[in-house]
Chains A and B, each alone.
Chain A
Amino acid sequence: EIVLTQSPGTLSLSPGERATLSCRASQSVSSTYLAWYQQKPGQAPRLLIYGASSRATGIPDRFSGSGSGTDFTLTISRLEPEDFAVYYCQQYGDSPYTFGQGTKVEIK
C-alpha cells in the first residue's frame, strides 16, 4: 500500500499570500497518477489537479501542481478568500487508491 503523507497539517496564511502544500509517497507513484482535491466544510471534495500537474476544468490558474516519483507539491500562487479549505492528495495508480491525511489552509 502506498502511504501518502501531507505536510504541513495546518497552514496559516493571509489572503494574497502563496501557499505551498507537500505530499510525499512511501513509494513511487506510477506515471504521476496523483490528484489534488479541495474540500470545504459540508461539501464534497472537488478535483483541482490530476496527473500531478494538469488543472481540472474550471480551476483557476493560481492553482498549480508539480512533482513526480515520491514528492509532489500543490501551489496556490495568491490565496483568495474562497481558497481557505482542506486539501487532499490521492494516488490512483495502484490499489488501494490512498489519500493523504489532508492539509488545512486557514486564515491567519
Chain B
Amino acid sequence: EVQLVESGGGLVRPGGSLRLSCAASGFTFSDYSMNWVRQAPGKGLEWVSSISSSSIYIFYADSVKGRFTISRDNAKNSLYLQMNSLRGEDTAVYYCASGGFLEWSDYWGQGALVTVSS
C-alpha cells in the first residue's frame, strides 16, 4: 500500500522557521519526482515546489522562492520542505504528493497543518 506521511507541522510565529518531512512507502520513491502543494483554510490548491527524482531539477512558486527549500533523501525515502521567514499567508495544510516534471500526482499524503500567527 502506498503511503505518504507528513510531519513537522504546527504553530510558528511570523518570521520563524519550520521543517516539514514526508515519509514514503509502498512505491519506489527514488523513481518519482515529488511535490509540495498547499491549501490555505477554505481556499483552493496551490503548487509550492517540485524536485526531480535525483534532485537535479528544482522549481518553486514565486510566493515561496528564496524562503522555502525542498530536498529529498532517496536512501531514507523522505521528502523535506524547509520553510524560513514564514508569513501569515503561509498558513495552510501542506501536502506531499508525487509528480511534477511532466508527471501527474497520483500519490498524496494526508497533509500537515502549518499555522503562522503571533
Contact = CB atoms under 8 A, between A and B. Distances in A.
Given A44-B109, A97-B59, 17 more contacts: A35-B104, A43-B110, A44-B95, A44-B108, A44-B110, A44-B111, A45-B37, A46-B108, A51-B104, A56-B104, A88-B44, A90-B105, A92-B101, A92-B104, A96-B61, A99-B45, A100-B44
Contacts of A33: 102, 104
Contacts of B103: 92
Q: Which DSSP category, helix, strand, loop or mixed, fits chain A's interface?
A: loop
B62 interface: yes
6 contacts: A35-B105, A37-B45, A45-B95, A92-B105, A93-B102, A97-B59
A88 B103 CA distance: 16
Interface of B: 35, 37, 44-47, 50, 59, 61-62, 95, 97, 99-106, 108-111
